[in-house]
Structure 1
Amino acid sequence: MKIKIGIVLIPIIFFSLVIGVVLLASVVSVKNDNDNVNYEYVSISADVLKYKPLVEEYCDKYDIKDQINIILAIMMQESGGQGLDPMQASESGYNTRYPRIPNGITDPIYSIEVGVQVWASVWKEAGDLKLALQGYNFGNGYVSWAKSRGGYTPENAKEFSDMMAIQNGWSAYGDILYVEHVMRYLSSGASVGDEEFKKMMEEVLKYQGYPYRFGGETPETSFDCSGLTKWAYNSIGISLPRTAQMQYDSMTHIPLSEAKQGDLLFFKNTYSTSDYITHVGIYVGDNIMYHAGDPIGYENINTDYWQKHFVCAGRIK
């Protein structure tokens, strides 16, 4: 991002140091229980979302009311909500009305009912999201086979695929990356933890007062906005894309009211470019962000300028 110095508030060094000490001393504790995660859907198309009421109806019917978002993510991967068999469920044993061949189902409503039945079956047998997802693609046989080997792994997904391809005389069997492909449409909504946030801030505070440098992404060059956020996240072992727009595209979007320390804040139209997102900063709480302004430092976003350009907060998926 390029910032016009005449518009951006010039940080007062003493105020910035005090704010930094206070914020680092009062980090909000974030629970991150990966064994009991409520996944949210992200980047789901309008073609898929139009079927959400039907998905809700059938999830209720087959007693998996908490799985609606996962079904939507599966549909997004299978078809993007297009075609007559949006859940690609034709070859399932639950399909008793249409030919059990690829795209044999020609009724989207029935496809969704069959797809939900398939998911309910593999989910209840697997009891684990990734194992169940791969089971939706490979069939229930994979679930029992993988459970006897400790559960889902990318390695045993490939092993099972190779084994089944040989048995059936096919060149390939299923999608060995199915879990990864579906998970890109799901988010746990998890923030960075308090220790990670402290480590991140300890790193980027080393560069407080450095000048803004367009294209900068290391301490040797100084930083631009996305270069600084990428450096910050890299310090806690998380790799972000390079530009503000790409970082925005890679994250779950949330309102400022839900933002937690360590989330990113995104802004638009701060300078002339074809990108929608033109600036990004690290949220540290109480309407304060740490960002590559000119110079690098803290900024209160509760001003007319920043509110005018604010888009949303972002959280790692």
Structure 2
Amino acid sequence: MAAIATAKAVGTLYRFKKPIAIAVISFFGVIFLIASGVLDTPSDNPAPSSIGAGKAKVSPLVTRYEPAVAAAAKKYGLSENYVPILLAKMMQESGGRLPDVMQSSESIQLGRNAIKDPMVSIDVGVKYFSEVLKEANGDVKLSLQSYNFGKGFISYANKRGGYSKENAVAFSNMMAAKKGWRRYGDINYVDHVLRYYDGNVNSTATANAQPVSTNGSGGQNFDVNKVYSDMAQYLGDKYVWGGASPATGFDCSGLMQWNYAQSGIKLPRTAQLQYNAVTKIDKNELRPGDMVFFAGTYAGPTVTHVGMYIGNGKMINSSSSGVNIANVFTGYWGQHYYAAGRPS
């Protein structure tokens, strides 16, 4: 609470005595932030890791801050794989040309560009991103958009199936109407950041959602881990209507058909036909490798979506958010859950 109270006090000072506030933050910013708890000790609970190795495509002005970003990432429990994403965020936020390189002052309730020390901006920005990443359960795209919109977008999106451009637009319109503004945030923030990043970005964390090896137990006659690992390599790829191969991309049933086939399991092409083909089981009998089916996600047949169950109430699937990990029984998918089945 001390950090918030101090930040509010400086924010008030900034609004009404701008020259004084700038001087205070410029000369005493680091001392203020340490005393208020913003520059504090590393996180006790590291953020879940949901991103592979990638490369930042940024300017030399941003690259010069890479050591500081890497140090802050380590301090706040982020793996080194997040450093390129953080540099891409910096490129989008400031291009490395402003003192508040991460545009992080508003995350501690200060005015825009109030932080005048790049090292402070990096520490505050990386800490805030690590907090958002935890609340988003490692969903990188959801975390990026929430860095721009604020943490309120996390619960809003999760109630509606997770991150998607549609949810970003709807949230922006809702907040703009509430505040009486012309617009709220950048609805294209994820795309804007990722144009400076070369690598796959998972839509949802895979932490604590790995399937266990079954190899025939529970009625399955295939290697569940192989099917999962085959699918997981496409995490972060965009949803492609009608896509059924790596060459074209995947829709929901195409992801299932292609990747089960790599383990010798032949499935029909659509979610409805796949439902018709599997052995029906109760959801209490679900094991990793089984399939979960959903209805009413668009006008058409009864079954309109499918995913592979991977344990802990989660599935891997291809939806409007791309190939991702999602909750089966809560949020949007919980509202549309229809049945479960076991392929063979």
TM interval, short-chain normalised: 0.3 to 0.5
Q: Specify which structure has the bigger relative contact order, considering alpha-carbon pairs within 8 angstroms and separated by 6 or more residues.
A: 1
Question: Rg: which structure is higher?
Answer: 1
TM-score, with normalisation over the residues of structure 1? 0.46
